[in-house]
Chain A
């Protein structure tokens, strides 16, 4: 978190981590498509011809609070290829919360575990305490053959303290729910540390509302929680 009282700016960083081709960029693309243009910046992505993220993807989401604070949430993905560990470590620097995108297929378990350990190591390298920085696990590609069943995912959830969300990111399923879970977790952690509600007048309800009322939540369970901001047409250009 970067908090600048003089400029009245708060910047949060959320990093999407996970093995190569697990769907990190797909998550960001879907969020970009569902966010209303006035809260989102351009999706910056540098990829190689085979659709692998070369350095990172960056999607900024921003709004102003009722108390006049400018809030920016920067969503990053890391490159998943093994050789890019240095880049992963750099992108992870200063993260306020992490989404770990796991591939639900049973055959990917070893890869998931390897990247999970890599995440823990790189967090330590960046002086991020894995017990303090919230992590949300997304089990992506739930629709593929060999994917874990809901019962197995529930079993995996019980093995640790992280929130777990199932997803099919290519179809947009679970993507907004994952983002909601991680945004909420990030807010709660920072509120504990920096008392956002007391010092900035920024409550959890406003923080999440400012973002999610400006996202197209149609077809998700979040839709009933956030009425869309009035007078806004359907967002985005569908990219």
Chain B
């Protein structure tokens, strides 16, 4: 609630928000385009040769056109008595009540009464007509027509003639320039003007309210968006914190899991080797199964630990001269038993080079090739083939530097193109269903990507769905130094996020 009784704390407008234009009372000036309105008033005045003034409720002039009476009024105004009487008349016309009181009477003429027009005499015998400007029950101002010479005026009244010094013949000469018109006609002109004014106010109000509301709506929408942005930014900060906690947790838990698991595997191996006495064939088979499953579990946990360290930015690369050929050979031999069991052919194609050397972390590089090979074998069915192809050390477009290119190709199930981006993300599985055929934690390729990029290299995938895939790793001969001087595997970044430029 607004206004004098205002106790509207519970029911007013939100303090943070600006009061809408719809809650405001509009003034006449709000609803009129003043320059074009002044033009309308001028053309009206010139057409009827009578002056028109339009005032708002505060008494400010919105339009003021003088026609004909200027010289006469100035002449009369030049005498002290004339001046005081003129001032009193003008005050009554401009500020007095628009009602048939204080010397005014209801103007004669069609529609004059409905429009509330009053007639006011000037001490010179001239006359004014004053019409209130009403809009939706509110008075917004007044329109003053005149002064004009009423048709019945034969001679000047005593209130002019008794002013000492007035030359009546000069006054007659000047008053002849003032329009002589019956009050009735003047009232009709004013009624007509009122209709034009109402039409202008109606369209002006509409234009004013709609533009103002348009602006308010935009500001309101902007406010909403800002609030949403702030909420999203908060959520983002929270998510990043959770992500960091997750990496730390995974690292800690993986470490805690590895220690007892190493004991389980160690004691099982001792059992299998007969250190605690001979085992019968069945017992031996069981114990070997324990060792085998324990090792695959240990691999999985190591992957998780690697990734959590990569994500925490803590996996350091130890660079040294590496023979890429022997790295590949070692990797191939470590997946060979797997491939053999599955009936997948393993093939290595290398250029006949003595010791293809580059600077890298040999262990991590082997892990890259092993991961790619293990994946290829996993997704290739019996009778298929997995090949490792190594290029010579040549200029590599991806790196704008010389380097090696290692491709791992398979004849397996392939990958749909729309999955190419996703498969390098941690925990991502192309087949995410619980009934999927192939195991794994979905960490292998994420680790590959981080390690390769940590070497300043690139990894990419090509595939024809159903026909096979090719993963290509490009490695520079010499990895570029990172900002802080050391080498570390790069934490995976969300694919769509850009880096700050400045």
Contacts and interface: CB of A to CB of B under 8 A. Distances in A.
Given A84-B217, A87-B213, A4 B13 contact: no
A46 interface: yes
Contact of B220 (A4, A64, A86): A86
B135 A90 contact: no
B206 A46 contact: yes
Contact of A127 (B3, B11, B224): B11
Interface stretch (A53-61, A144-152, A221-229): A53-61
B272 to A, nearest CB: 67
A41 B1 contact: no
A41 B221 CA distance: 31
Please indicate which of the listed interface residues B19, B213, B224 has the most CB atoms of chain A within 10 Å of its own CB: B213
Contacts of B22: 56, 58, 74, 76, 90-91, 93
Given A3-B2, A4-B4, A72-B136, A58 B209 contact: yes
A125 B136 CA distance: 30
A63 B2 CA distance: 20
A1 interface: yes
A42 B214 CA distance: 21
B202 interface: yes
Nearest to B5: A3
A6 B6 CA distance: 13
B216 A3 contact: no
B433 interface: no
Nearest to B219: A86
B482 interface: no
Nearest to A89: B220
B14 interface: yes
A62 B136 contact: yes
Contacts of B135: 41
B137 A62 contact: yes
Contact of B20 (A3, A93, A132): A93
B136 A60 contact: yes
Interface in B1-43: 1-7, 10-14, 17, 19-20, 22-23
Nearest to A95: B11
B217 A127 contact: no
A5 interface: yes
B1 A1 contact: yes
A58 B135 CA distance: 14
B137 A41 contact: yes
A172 interface: no
A9 to B, nearest CB: 8
A66 interface: no
Interface string A1-28: 1111110000001000000000000000
B137 A2 contact: no
B254 interface: no
Contacts of B6: 3
A90 B20 contact: yes
Given A42-B202, A55-B210, A2 B2 contact: yes
A194 B137 contact: no
A59 to B, nearest CB: 10
B214 A127 contact: no
B17 to A, nearest CB: 8
A105 interface: no
A28 to B, nearest CB: 15
Contact of A132 (B7, B11, B23, B202): B11
Contact of A125 (B5, B11, B14): B14
**What is the interface of chain B mostly: helix, strand, loop, or mixed?**
mixed
Interface in B203-225: 205-206, 209-210, 213-214, 216-218, 220-221, 224
Contact of B217 (A76, A86, A132): A86
A163 interface: no
A72 B209 CA distance: 18
A70 interface: yes
A42 B206 CA distance: 10
Contacts of B4: 3-6
B14 A193 contact: no
B10 A44 contact: no
B13 A126 contact: yes
Given A127-B13, A129-B10, A5 B3 contact: yes
Contact of A72 (B17, B137, B213): B137
Interface string A188-209: 0000011000010000000000
B447 to A, nearest CB: 46
A204 B221 CA distance: 39
B217 A87 contact: yes
Nearest to A70: B137
A86 B5 contact: no
A74 B214 CA distance: 20
Contacts of A89: 220
Interface in A116-134: 125-129, 132-133
B140 to A, nearest CB: 12
Contacts of A132: 10-11
Interface string A57-85: 01010111000001010101000000011
12 contacts: A1-B2, A3-B4, A4-B4, A44-B205, A44-B209, A55-B214, A85-B224, A86-B217, A86-B218, A93-B23, A127-B12, A193-B1
List 4 tightest A-B contacts by C-beta distance, closest first: A62-B137, A86-B220, A41-B136, A5-B4
Interface of A: 1-6, 13, 41-42, 44, 46, 54-56, 58, 60, 62-64, 70, 72, 74, 76, 84-87, 89-91, 93-94, 125-129, 132-133, 193-194, 199
Interface of B: 1-7, 10-14, 17, 19-20, 22-23, 135-138, 202, 205-206, 209-210, 213-214, 216-218, 220-221, 224
Given A60-B137, A199-B5, 18 more contacts: A2-B3, A3-B1, A3-B3, A42-B202, A44-B205, A46-B206, A56-B22, A70-B138, A72-B137, A76-B22, A86-B220, A86-B221, A90-B20, A94-B23, A127-B14, A129-B11, A193-B7, A194-B5
